[in-house]
Amino acid sequence: PICLDTQDTEEIIETVVRIAPAFGGINLLWCKMFHLALQRLPGNLTIQLLGAAL
């Protein structure tokens, strides 16, 4: 797992976008604001996003 020392949604989104090419999927289940993050992530990500609402 990669732990982020932030609860800022913008920082989480920026980090996910930057590291996405190195991963086959990203689990946002434990992100406290994952609903907001999922809505605001670019639709052109080519990886699988995992979460309780998906």
Q: What is the pLDDT of residues 16-47, one digit of tens each?
A: 888 888 888 777 766 666 667 667 776 766 66
Q: What pLDDT score does 54 carry?
A: 45
Confidence of residue 13 (pLDDT cuts 50, 70, 90): confident
Total-model pTM: 0.63
Is the Cβ–Cβ distance between 28 and 38 less than 8 Å?
A: yes
Residue 35's Cβ-count burial label (10 Å; 0-12, 13-18, 19+) is middle
In what helix (H) or strand (E) does residue 25 lie, and over which residues does it extend? strand 25-27
